[in-house]
Amino acid sequence: MFKKDEENVVDIPINLSVDKLFEPVMQLKSTHKVSILLVEENISKTVEGLKEIYEITSSAKISNFLNENISFAIRAERIGSHEFTSLDVAKYAGQAIVDLTKKKFGTRSPVNLNHPAVIFDALVIDNKYYFALRISGEESLHRRGYRVYDHPAALKPTIAYGMLKIAELKDGETLLDPMCGGGTIVIEAVRNYRLRNVYCMDISPKHLKGAVMNAIASSVYSKINFILGDARKVDEYVKEYIDVIVTNPPYGIRMLRQKYLRTLYLDFLKSSRNILSSKGRIVVITSEYVLFKKEAEKLGYKIAYKRKVLHGDLEVEIIKIVPK
């Protein structure tokens, strides 16, 4: 299997059929797209690179997946600076497949950009070219189908699931998201774990109602306690020890928000200490790492883990803290 992120390239046995892979692939919870790498090579960043893309694509073994009646489309992406665009990449890779199928089958496989039977990924990252067969379909796997209420700052379910993994959430534990918005984190948790108790809290009645709607759409409503409340005094609402708090507080993009965020972080972290169990841990996604770390350390938490992640176009940090 092949993902853009080099660390996620996984070797699969060459004789495993694509049909057998489809089912496990569709179960992946923190992955957007999955493709089988057919060919990869270095290319030039100048216009010369386009001819190389044509040649490299022509060497891909595609006859198991295509014939003269099966339509295809190329989905191209380009990262880095090049003398050509992603449209050029798609054009040259597409032409290579057209010429290849014509040679192999006598008639070219039809191109269908809207509803292709087969999707190929043509990806250029700096001077590397990857040509791959998409096996997870057109839609990104982060679309789970339960989002009937679209929170304006909703987290991708894949990131929410990743945060639960970072929290090392286990069956039988208690979980709280005190700023739950549309409920993505708790919904992902209930869909994937058997938890003792789950709390979804937000200060906004509108967003909390949205979380209820999403939970109903995901058939997990009865497993979640919904609370209209203030994360700055979370200990006044939740009356049991919580093993894991995972949350996505508002981002401080506007200056006015910075002051509110400081008290929000401080008071949320202070009141959380009163309800955290002895094995308690908190995982937060924030664009304000420095501020969050300062407030957390002031209150006697230590940073147990952190990593950068892209939330849309925004580079943010996922941080795990535990009481010292």
* Interface positions with ligand SAM (CB under 6 A): 151, 153-155, 178-179, 181-182, 184-185, 202-204, 207, 230-232, 248-250, 264
164 sits in which H/E element: helix 157-166
Phi, psi of 232 (to 5 degrees): -75, -15
Q: How far apart are CA 280 and CA 255, in angstroms?
A: 32
Of residues 130 and 237, the one with the C-beta less far from ligand SAM: 237
- Per the CB < 8 A criterion, the answer to whether 281 and 304 are in contact is yes
Angle, CA of 255, 259 and 260, to the nearest 5°: 105
Smallest gap from Cβ 317 to ligand SAM, in A, equals 14
Q: How far apart are CA 24 and CA 30, in angstroms?
A: 13
Of residues 49 and 182, the one with the C-beta less far from ligand SAM: 182
Instruction: Tell me if residue 139 falls in helix, strand or coil.
Output: coil
Smallest gap from Cβ 111 to ligand SAM, in A, equals 37
Smallest gap from Cβ 4 to ligand SAM, in A, equals 23
Smallest gap from Cβ 29 to ligand SAM, in A, equals 15
58 sits in which H/E element: helix 48-58
Of residues 116 and 210, the one with the C-beta less far from ligand SAM: 210
Q: How far apart are CA 116 and CA 43, in angstroms?
A: 27
- Per the CB < 8 A criterion, the answer to whether 138 and 119 are in contact is yes
Smallest gap from Cβ 8 to ligand SAM, in A, equals 23
Smallest gap from Cβ 57 to ligand SAM, in A, equals 39
Of residues 110 and 229, the one with the C-beta less far from ligand SAM: 229
Of residues 50 and 261, the one with the C-beta less far from ligand SAM: 261
Of residues 89 and 163, the one with the C-beta less far from ligand SAM: 163
**Which residue has the closest beta carbon to ligand SAM?**
181
Smallest gap from Cβ 113 to ligand SAM, in A, equals 32
Helix axes 184-192 and 205-217, enclosed angle (nearest 10): 30
- Per the CB < 8 A criterion, the answer to whether 49 and 43 are in contact is yes
Of residues 88 and 230, the one with the C-beta less far from ligand SAM: 230
Phi, psi of 67 (to 5 degrees): -145, -170
